[in-house]
Amino acid sequence: MIVKTKVKEAKEIISAWKAEAGGSPLGFVPTMGFLHEGHLELIKTARADNAKVAVSIFVNPTQFGPNEDFESYPRDLDRDLELARMAGADLVFAPDPAEMYGPAPFVTMKAAARTDVLCGRSRPGHFDGVVTVLTKLFHIMQPDKAYFGKKDAQQVAVIKGLVDEFFFPLEIIPVETVREEDGLAKSSRNVFLTAEERLEAPKIYKSLQAGRLFSEKDHPSAEKIRAYISASLQDIKGAEIDYIEVLQYPELIPATDQSREMIAAAAVKFSGARLIDNLIWTRSEK
């Protein structure tokens, strides 16, 4: 596995691959490091689909808000490199902020839609940083396919909008959320749950599943589906509902009777962790 920290060097590797591989596909997995099972599933999926796999490890400062501490974000590059190698990465690009942004930005980007709902409502500017860094990374890595986890469905929706808006010649591949046997979405935050909370947390996904089933009965409105899920979430002991939303996907706009692609997403606060989860489905026609 090759490790590069400079844009020029990473581009040289990618150019050489594309020349010698005769157009064989390149898969790309962008991360902010501190890799977990979700990231490894993305790398493994990319490995199965492509001749070469590139991974970026970059803690992006432009997507941190004023109340989010960029400096305290967990980092362990040596561990990440070994995990990426074992999962099948051919190249890891791990630049520092100065390499990616220089002394001052010449162009800034703003995500104009899909950002004022779900987690984006409480993180103004976050997705501006996401689309900025991914525009840079897509140009550097020149991938044919880029892989993102469905657990952060809002991010996937925003990235799809970016790729469509600027006609990037690549395919966005959403990968199913990695779950525990009881349905709980795997997350580094799960270790902060108490034993009692860990027993309650799988009810988040079960409530979302119940909402999907309810959506097929008499074609209820999005508000009725949301209320149904909300009532189910009330049964989770020792937790506070941050939000529950039912929207049209990937537009993330209010769903109507004509909406077919739907997302139900929830954020639930426990004593030491805030967990998010979602379910995306295609609703049958009336």
Q: Residues annotated as binding site for beta-alanine? A: 63
Is the separation of the CB atoms in 2 and 89 below 8 Å?
no
Alpha-carbon span 99 to 96, nearest angstrom: 5
Q: Report the candidate in 231, 202, 200, 201 with the shortest Cα–Cα distance to residue 214.
A: 231
Residue numbers in the known binding site for (R)-pantoate are: 63, 155
For helices 203-215 and 222-233, the axis angle rounded to 10 degrees is: 150
Cβ proximity of 132 and 108 under 8 Å:
yes
Determine the Cα–Cα distance for residues 244 and 266; give it in Å rounded to an integer: 4
Catalytic residue among 39, 126, 139, 219: 39
Known binding positions for ATP:
32-39, 149-152, 178, 186-189
The dihedrals phi and psi of 7, each to the nearest 5 degrees, come to: -55, -50
What residue numbers does the annotated binding site cover?
32-39, 63, 149-152, 155, 178, 186-189
Q: Which of 186, 128, 184, 137 has the alpha carbon at shortest distance from 155?
A: 128
219 is catalytic: no
d(CA 260, CA 78): 44
Active site residues: 39
